[in-house]
Amino acid sequence: MAKNIKQLSHSPDRLTAGHRLCPGCAEPMIVRQVLMAAGDRPVIAANATGCLEVSSTIFPYTAWNIPWIHLAFENAGATISGVEAMYQQWRKQGKIDPVQRYALVAFGGDGGTYDIGLQSLSGMAERWHDCVYVCLNNEAYMNTGVQRSSATLYGANTTTSPAGRVIPGKSVHRKDLTMVMAAHDIPYVAQVAPASPPHWRHLVNAAEKAFDYEGPAFLNVLSPCPLGWICDASKTPELAKLAADTCLWPMYEVDHGEWKLLYRPKEKLPIEVYLEPQGRFRHLFRGEKAEEIRRRIQEWVDYKWEQLLRLCGDA
């Protein structure tokens, strides 16, 4: 049963203060909420190279109060699979309580999840390892210089898809990794975001289900990045909410094959209200091609939203 906010406030503090993540970064907010959802279970985390890893473990310090493994960009899925295999063997051998379930979780950025780590993630799901994978999706390789990834939005300005006279930012739409993972037919997949109430509850609920179910689970969590998105650091929750209200980042779950919307805005807002506060889209509000690119983004958002509604039986 889902815990209320008072119960969650008494959860163990598994990621402490003192990390070096940027002001306004959504990642510590997401990680804390996910780890709260693990309840009283022992937790082991695997963390791919990226912003979260380099900022929370600057030698000789660590912000983690749980067993934690650093790994390369591309092998978070493989590493947590190995941890889970060892855990199952130790249960069989009586080295740990066979009744006590551990919460095994991997955190990776969108570059290490959508791109160079996709084969590792897919293998984890196909082999049916009992663990949770969380994609901290800030829509680019932020830790290494704000390069575009396959999670980057069409039209976004990055260091490898620079907006100029010839190229108007990234030239293709992003990959829909949440649907890719749903196609693996694993017990639980969810696409959520951290934000002010009521949206924060969706992330915690999704994480609780992911930990409760036996087998692999995948959470794709939008993670606003003030540095790479070139936006006000105080606007992180607001931007996450606008992503949901424009349906550019629809929040839904696939629970044992059943598709369900987690949030449907009362009024579907135009994508401009989400794009305009971000410097990475500044070029889409000036010049000859700007209106055409915004129109293409809106058409793509509308198409994906209608597709999701049909899958959820809510058209």
| pLDDT at residue 195, as a whole number | 74
For 134-156, what is the mean pLDDT? 97
**Residue 198: is the preceding peptide bond cis (ω within 30°)?**
yes
What confidence score (pLDDT) does residue 303 get? 98
Provide the mean pLDDT of the chain: 95
Mean pLDDT of the region 6-21: 86
Give percent above pLDDT 70 in the chain: 98
CATH fold of the domain at 5-311: Rossmann fold (3.40.50)
pLDDT confidence of residue 11: 82
Segment 254-263, tens digit of pLDDT: 999 999 999 9
Residue 81 confidence (pLDDT) above 90: yes
Q: What integer pLDDT is reported at residue 1 of this predicted model? A: 56
Mean pLDDT, residues 180-206 taken together: 90
pLDDT in tens, 18-70: 899 999 999 999 999 999 999 999 999 999 999 999 999 999 999 999 999 99
Domain range list for the chain? 5-311
- According to the model, what pLDDT value does residue 44 have? 98
Mean of pLDDT values over 216-240 = 96
Per-residue pLDDT, averaged over 206-213, amounts to 97
Which has more confidence, 184 or 2? 184
5 band by pLDDT with thresholds 50, 70 and 90 = confident
* Residue 122 to residue 141: CA distance in whole angstroms: 20
> Is the model's pLDDT at 197 over the cut of 80?
no
- Considering the entire predicted model, what is its pTM? 0.96
d(CA 229, CA 51): 15
Alpha-carbon distance 221 to 133, whole Å? 11
Stretch 272-278: mean pLDDT: 98
Confidence class for position 6, pLDDT limits 50, 70, 90:
confident
Average pLDDT over residues 154-182: 95
| Strands (DSSP E) found in 101-237 | 103-109, 132-137, 188-192, 217-222
- Give the pLDDT confidence score for residue 7 in this predicted structure: 78
Per-residue pLDDT at 144: 94
- What are the phi and psi torsion angles at 293 (to 5°)? -65, -40
List, as own/partner pairs, every contact residues 272-278 make where C-beta atoms lie below 8 angstroms and the sequence separation is at least 24, other chains included.
Answer: 273/242, 273/245, 273/246, 274/239, 274/242, 274/243, 274/245, 274/246, 274/248, 277/231, 277/232, 277/235, 277/239, 277/242, 278/229, 278/230, 278/231, 278/239
- Residues for the chain: how many in total? 315
Could you give the CA distance from residue 274 to residue 313 in angstroms, rounded to a whole number?
27
Whether the CB-CB separation of 156 and 141 falls below 8 Å is answered with no
What is the model's pLDDT at position 286? Answer: 92
pLDDT given for residue 196 in this prediction? 66
Phi, psi of 202 (to 5 degrees): -65, -40
